Structure 1
């Protein structure tokens, strides 16, 4: 019999997984798996569970939670040589990465994909040794996900991120940075910057505006200059709402490697989790590092 390690966040998505845990285990058991279940908890997240338990003898790891739980699961898996295949049941508030993968929004549909779907080999990002699945970001709105309380995420979903972002709109706040990408050096005062591999950020679709592939060895780099006046801020807001990324305020390119240097410590978020305060970081694509059922 094959063996499955099931990791779930009991607080994510209004505790949806915890309420349906028996049904989930039965479905996997009928599919021929011996299921080993671990709930994540404070001080013992997915990364720590995988580090402590190991993956020897495990055929599949299934992560149940939001983008943050998946982030820690990915880091736990990639610490091992030849990590097992990953299944993902997204039950977070926005599930940006799951939306980019085209995963079903229902629990039953997600179980079908894990049991019957095909395996896709996906790129991950390397943020100075910390892996991320779909986004590394600094500046405006970058702290919104990890600073929004879980209870607010559960009750308000995407609206929670919008409200928190509005409260943190950094009028007059700038992030001077030197960016080395594709043989060019860019030095500007920015309001936001991201290296991402997704069609969704904060629950908003960029599909049709950004040509994103999740396994091409390239990530998208988006840099937004800091507006110099309220008039420019309003113009920038309009461009963002229209999903217009080709204008005088923004630079977007594709790259497999990019280096950021800041004159002072700058906070980053990785997949919605706090990524640290840094003055310099090199971000690189680790191509086709993760095997996932889709």
Structure 2
């Protein structure tokens, strides 16, 4: 694929940058899908979480193409070594080469390539591609979110009764004791779980503590631009590119349900959850 420089005298032009991001993430997803279909080679990282050859190959591809767009944009990826340099950048690529690695390894379809451009702590561009299902989510701050070109908007639900909910089992157990809700099957990619709130397929999504910037940034913008909210359990918006890019337990829903759940949501039982408990 070709790379068009996007810098001008005032910094990156967002229009070509958004296009190049979408093209790059789509191409990365095609690489991941080919490796998924060929068979998965994996091992365990130092934090006892799995990684595959596809994670590493996609990370290298994304780093090469995205950093070529503008040298002044910093880099934070699950599969790259982190360092303090990113803290001094106004803009930052936040990357998860394969979100939902366990699903990828198990032969499931609930995994995705997730990339966001964060500016001064908040995502301004996002692309989330699930190659196995052909779902391409994109969003641009102030310009909406789309799935395969169709505009997204969260479901207009105002009551918890009958709400479709997803997340860690302990959270769903606690919520089910308070309202008759419909528990949905687990989505192993946290980014996809949150993005399905933007499509209206999920009304409420929970995430346990210890999720990272790369798990969240792209989905956060997609949900926000679909008129939903992703916050901590007490309603605090998320800020990205902190020295420790980790977040407490989270709540994602449309505005009416979110307001109710900030008051009623179960307290998270897994502040120190492993990645497999998210």
Question: What is the TM-score with the length of structure 2 in the denominator?
Answer: 0.35
Q: Which has the higher contact order (CA 8 A, sep 6+)?
A: 1
Rg larger in structure: 1
Question: What is the TM-score with the length of structure 1 in the denominator?
Answer: 0.34
- Higher strand residue share: 1
